[in-house]
Amino acid sequence: MSERRIIDLRSDTVTVPSPEMRRAMAEAAVGDDVFGEDPTVRRLEEMSAAVTGKEAALFVASGTMSNLVAIMSHCGRGDEAIAGDQAHIVQYEVAGAAGVAGAQVRTARNDARGRLDPEEVESLIRGENVHHPNTALLCIENTHNRCSGAVIPPEDTQELADLAHRHGVRVHIDGARIFNAALAAGASVADLAGPADSVGFCLSKALGAPVGSVLCGDGAFIARARKMRKMVGGGMRQAGIIAAAGVYALEHMVERLAEDHENAKVLAHGLAELPIVDLDPETIETNIVIFRVEDAIGFARGLKRAGVLCTMPGPGRIRMVMHYGIERADIDEALDRVRHAALAPA
Ligand SMILES: *Cc1c(COP(=O)(O)O)cnc(C)c1O
């Protein structure tokens, strides 16, 4: 068999920085950020606050740290946070809310589009009773990773935030891919984040930076979050070297997300033509394609042999993610390989 390029659709975290991004990193002005003296980190935080429409921002090591620090800053020990049962916070963050923040997460059902039912959420908010924990926080994920990268529309976020705020509950958006959400919704990131008290987004996913996330909120919240970040060991020194990649990403990598969304649609339409694939391509809104096949393990194994990498987000489910470095031609090639692999004997 001839040498074939691996088409890696496992995640948008597998991107490597472009030469221009690396140059920006090499040339970054730096200082000690724990002393507040790194100009590149400060620039990234100012840009992030502006784009999310919040007062202040904090550069953190990862999306997981962004959510953890947000939960630690919104909740006291023994408080309760409500999150979707398919949320990244619930599924993939090693129960940091419980294990580190000391908060109990109570889940509400996510529908197939990642939405939460406002009535259910309201029913989960605790009343005053000596037995009950205090409901401190509601977490919303946008786009919704496990729900095919679905976009939560601004009016849904507004409705949930209004009801949470009526009960004195604060709202955090896990916006790891909120730039994808904004593009697909035809809204600004600030519109999507507006109803929430805090929002975090990833630089290291579709925006193509090697490291980092940014947590945004009002000044008092970010001041608390800065201490919490220090507590979990996330105070970084000459972090401008990695923040420079984030600055570059915000300046140069946002527009290209449209390409990923287009590629996801092409891939989804191609996959949906295969009899073994259960997928409605109309449900694909952003850069994540999730579909069902009966034998997902065999399917993924066959694809791996053919040089196409994917993940399995659950039994019978396959996930493929578009990102910087995946071009339209790769999608055509991936579809060819999937067709062959699907026809080949196991
Ligand atoms: C990837 C992701 C995170 C966590 O990001 P890491 O940088 O991998 O820690 C959080 N939330 C969502 C929705 C994600 O997709």
* Count of structural domains within the chain: 2
- Residues 71 and 190 both lie in one domain: yes
C-alpha 274 – ligand 1 centre gap (Å): 31
- Listed as ranges, residues in the chain with pLDDT below 70 are 1-3, 344-346
Q: For ligand 1, atom 4, name the residue with the nearest CA.
A: 63
Ligand 1 neighbour 15 (Cβ under 6 A): no
Query: Tell me: the pLDDT tens digits for 54-105?
Result: 999 999 999 999 999 999 999 999 999 999 999 999 999 999 999 999 999 9
When the pLDDT of each residue in the chain is averaged and rounded to a whole number, the result is 96
The answer on 138 and 117 residing in a single domain is yes
Looking at the structure, tell me whether residues 248 and 103 fall in a common domain. yes
Q: Does residue 240 sit in the same domain as residue 336?
A: no
228 and 320 in one domain? no
| Distance of CA 299 from the midpoint of ligand 1 (Å) | 26
The CATH number of whichever domain residue 127 belongs to comes to 3.40.640.10
Q: How far apart are the first and last CA of the chain?
A: 18
**Same domain assignment for residues 231 and 283:** no
Instruction: Report which protein residue has its CA nearest ligand 1's atom 8.
Output: 63
Query: Is the C-beta atom of 288 inside 6 A of ligand 1?
Result: no
150 and 242 belong to one structural domain: yes
pLDDT at position 343 is 72
Q: For residue 341, with 0-12 CB atoms within 10 Å meaning exposed, 13-18 middle and 19 or more buried, which class applies?
A: buried
Distance, CA 319 to ligand 1 centroid (Å)?
15
Q: 145 and 89 in contact (C-beta within 8 Å)?
A: no
- Note the pLDDT tens digit of each residue in 212-249: 999 999 999 999 999 999 999 999 999 999 999 999 99
25 lines ligand 1 (CB under 6 A): no
Q: In this structure, are 211 and 299 located in the same domain? A: no
Measured between alpha carbons, how far is 232 from 169 in angstroms, rounded to an integer?
24
Q: Is residue 138 part of a domain?
A: yes
Domain that holds residue 175: 19-252
Same domain, 228 and 175: yes
Distance 87 CA to ligand 1 centre (A): 10
Which residue bears the tokens 């009343």?
127
State whether 288 and 146 are in the same domain.
no
Pair (66, 81) in one structural domain: yes
Radius of gyration of the chain (CA): 20
